[in-house]
Structure 1
Amino acid sequence: MHVLLKSLIPIAETIGKTFGNRCEVVLHDLTIPEKSVVYTVNGDVTGRREGQTFDRLVRSVLLNKNFTRDYAVNYTFETEDGRRIKSSSSLVRDEAGEVVGVFCVNYDITFMKTLHDELELFLPMQEDSSVICPEMAADQDVTTVVDTLIDNIVSGRKKQGLTKQDNLEMIRFMDDKGIFLVKGAIDKVAACMGLSKVTIYGYLDTVRGKNGKS
């Protein structure tokens, strides 16, 4: 775990204990993207466990129209069992300004729906904030974060030596996580992997076909 994230554990515990078991706090270490979850409080809210990876970072945070000053707040999503979650996320930067992690707070607001009138001030939320258009434009900060993610994903696997199947799995992972929604990501991935853009497009066609994606 990155030392900066370790220093945030008391804050995570404080938030989780203050707001109770409907409030989940998750620390992501983006220097290890494929196992980014390094600490959780009340992880049963969304089923978060250490060793898992990020899910909504690119789509719901970095490409959120209201993502400013390194944070996005009050975006919502549903769990697989239909519960409504209100979420807020902040980037964590080191002394050099590099993004090394994300601090996330997830609150189960399902039970509050019946109290909406009384709790209206507590529930400002952005509906349908997920990104659905491919290759969306991104500002410089978003591009920098995604470039760093790509570097970390590729460098972590390059150490092991890569086969074609390894390359396909890497492309599938990045596609699942929304990396290719950011304009310029294909160029960056091709450069990092030492492959042509045509090859990356071919890999994308392959993994999306296997996943039943259009």
Structure 2
Amino acid sequence: MNSIHEQYIPVAEVIAKTFGHDCEVVLHDLTVPQSSVVYTVNNHVTGRQVGQSFNHLITDVLLSQNFTNDYSANYYFHTEDGRLIKSSTLLIRNPDKKVIGALCINIDTTRITESINWLSSLLPQNPDLPPNQHYQRDQTNETEHIQEIAHDLIDKIIGNKPVEKLRRDEKVEMVRFMEQKGIFLIRGTIDRVAEKLNISKVTVYSYIEEIKEKNNKG
């Protein structure tokens, strides 16, 4: 660890002490990316260990639309045991303006969420609303709007390709992409994909099951 990184150790300590037990701070030396973690405070939050590499630097920081002025603030990820972590990352530069490190702040939101839920339970609840035809119609219109967007996405993913000439693996790959993006969570999308790919709904379901099985094995 060089002197520039060492200057951030008191910063890491004071952040962790200010925000408490559920706040983890991780200091990275990006001149050794394969083992970039050089210092941690409260590392029980995510289990980060000195000698490990970075995880979210590319996807949640450098490629984030919120990345500005050498930092990305308030992005979220889940730990392996399902806890939601609120995170912010600041890049560290040397006097030559080269990025040589990063300071990451990870806050376990579990206690915060539990407290919010408990406080919400103390508030008066809204009484059951009587049936309202106008409200129901608005809900229907909203669902139709979401389906329209989903169908448009499906059309763009499949494009103008002659589906009769597509190989099975090409169709499976399209379905895989849609599954990863959550498109099939929207009602009616299975029918749309079956129609566009000129296959049955049963075949679409079989593709999805095949994809999930491979993901589980992988």
TM bracket, shorter-chain basis: 0.5 to 0.7
Would you say 1:15 and 2:34 are equivalent positions? Answer: no
Report the Cα offset of residue 118 of structure 1.
Answer: 9.8
Deviation for aligned residue 1:101: 0.1
CA distances 1:29-85 after superposition (whole Å, capped 9, x unpaired): 000000000000001100011000001100011001110010000000000000010
Deviation at 1:2, TM superposition (A): 2.5
Map 1:25-40 onto structure 2 (within 5 A). Answer: 25-40=25-40
Q: How does 1:49-60 map to 2 (within 5 A)?
A: 49-60=49-60
Coordinate RMSD, CA, aligned? 2.2
Q: Is the 8 A contact 1:37 1:51 kept in 2?
A: yes
More contact order relative to length (CA 8 Å, sep ≥ 6): 1
What's the secondary structure of 1:14's corresponding residue? helix
CA distance in structure 1 between the partners assigned to 2:101 and 2:28 by the alignment: 5
Amino acid at match of 2:97: G
Partners of 2:117 and 2:41 in 1: CA distance: 29
Give the CA deviation at 1:115.
3.4
Unaligned residue ranges in structure 2 (runs of 5+): 120-213
Match of 1:62 in 2: 62
Match of residue 88 from structure 2: 88
Q: How many residues align?
A: 122
Amino acid at match of 1:53: S
CA contact under 8 A between 1:90 and 1:104: conserved in structure 2?
Answer: yes
CA–CA distance in structure 1, aligned partners of residues 21 and 49 of structure 2: 15
Q: Secondary structure at the match of 1:4?
A: helix
Q: CA deviation at 1:117?
A: 7.7
Partner residue in 1 for 2:76: 76
- Deviation of residue 116 (structure 1)? 3.6
Give 1:206's aligned residue: none
Query: As a proportion of its length, which structure holds more helix?
Result: 2
Give, in angstroms, the shift of residue 87 of structure 1: 0.2
Q: Percent identity?
A: 53
- Amino acid in structure 2 at the alignment position of 1:109: T
Secondary structure of 1:114's aligned partner: helix
Is this contact kept in 2: 1:2–1:100, CA < 8 A? Answer: no
Partner Cα distance (1:100, 1:118) in 2:
43
Which residue identity is paired with 2:108?
A: D
Q: Contact between 1:84 and 1:109, CA under 8 Å: does it hold in 2?
A: yes
- The residue aligned with 1:110 is 110
Post-superposition offset of 1:114: 3.2
Structure 1 length normalisation: TM-score? 0.54
Q: How far apart, in 2, do the equivalents of 1:2 and 1:61 lie?
A: 23
Distance in 2 separating the partners of 1:88 and 1:43: 15
Matches within 5 A, 1:109-148: 109-116=109-116
